[in-house]
Amino acid sequence: MTSYAHDPVASTIVACWPTGDGAVAHRAARVPRALDHSLARRTAKALTALSAHLWAAYADHTTHEIDPAALAAAVRSPNQPVGDLLRVMEDGCAETAHLLGRVVARAPGRAFRDAVVADVRAETGAVLDAGDGVLTGRSAQAVAHPRADAPPEQLVVAHALLHDDPLGPPAIVTSVEPTAAAVATLRWLRASAALVAERVGHAVPDVVALAEAIGHEDLPVARHVLCTLAGVGAEEVVLDLLQEAVLARQGWFVVCPPPTDRPDPDDGCGGHRAVSTVLDPLDPVSCLIDGLVRGLHGCFRVWFDDVVTRESPGADPRLVGTARTAALRGRYTDEVRALVRRG
């Protein structure tokens, strides 16, 4: 979503939104010098809350319920108290727009209100564009909002990007709906792991362990999807992982009974166990895709070390020249593409 803040030095409201590989900021409105700083901060807070409602509608596939004209009108002419009474809208998004309007109405002049309304229109338009599959400009922040499906057209885009670069192109996190990006990347990761496992003569879990040893890093996401969830469909894995992380962020604690053993009445847990997520609940999308891409690179490292060791006994894989590294990378990506085509 777009986060807003008051810059008291420049006397502006600044908007900032994620793009997958960083954030973009712009000046949303110039704050009148006479406006109290607390009201400017409340304006920024209400704008942030409204953006959260809008992007929640995108994630829930309910953008068709958004009325851009009504939201803009609510900010421009909000419900005001009549005596001790105030009409409160049932819809949270609409009520937040009215709340924003009541705060902005306390600012002198019209320029500040007009600028805020214009930014609300821009944010609403970005959400609606994202709902139509347009992930450019301000709509690109959709890459931070997973949805409960992987649109076929977005899967095609993701697979095309991974075909061009099976080690994970930067555009996979900036230009593709995140659920589709994760599903496609997981499929390429599984193919890569299977290729390397056959090459080195070990099982896939051993490939993950070798990748961690060679790279001196922990690969929890890759290990989880390749080992723990090896037999589960790619889309089901991605949706379950993202759902777990989103629920954790919302304060839900997921529990389920043991899958096989009969519950032990003396275990103190009523036969249930806690289910944790391998993702960062505060940023599950980036954590998942980054973990999958790190897995892709880990598979390549294992393959690379094995090829160098076999073809040049005694050579240190870390000292291989740039030209040969590029050649081996090209050879590896060709092998992965061929396996994905056969699969």
pLDDT score for 88: 84
Amino acid at 320: V
The CA distance from 162 to 152, in Å, is 15
* Between residues 216 and 314, the one the model is more confident about: 216
Tens of pLDDT along 155-192? 999 999 999 999 999 999 999 999 999 999 999 999 99
Q: How far is CA 258 from CA 255, 261, 269, in A?
A: 10, 6, 11
Distance of CA 9 to the CA centre of its chain: 32
**pTM, to two decimals:** 0.86
pLDDT, tens digit (0-9, with 9 covering 90-100), for 106-121: 999 899 999 999 999 9
**Which residues pair with residue 16 across a beta bridge?**
3, 25
- As a whole number, mean pLDDT of residues 26-44 equals 95
Which residue do the tokens 């529990």 mark?
Answer: 255
Instruction: Report d(CA 75, CA 69) in Å as an integer.
Output: 10
pLDDT at 125 over 70: yes
Give per-residue pLDDT as tens, 67-110.
999 999 999 999 888 888 888 888 899 999 999 999 999 999 89
Residue 63, C-beta contacts closer than 8 angstroms, at least 6 positions apart: 57, 127, 128, 130, 131
For residue range 200-235, what is the model confidence (pLDDT) as tens digits? Answer: 999 999 999 999 999 999 999 999 999 999 989 999
Per-residue confidence (pLDDT) for residue 253, from 0 to 100? 65
Mean pLDDT (whole number) for 274-296:
89
Q: What is the mean pLDDT of the chain?
A: 90
- Residue 5 is given by DSSP the state E
**C-alpha–C-alpha distance, residues 334 and 191, integer Å:** 12
Q: Among 93, 82, 104, 85, which Cα is nearest to 35's?
A: 104
**336 contacts 192 by C-beta, under 8 angstroms:** yes
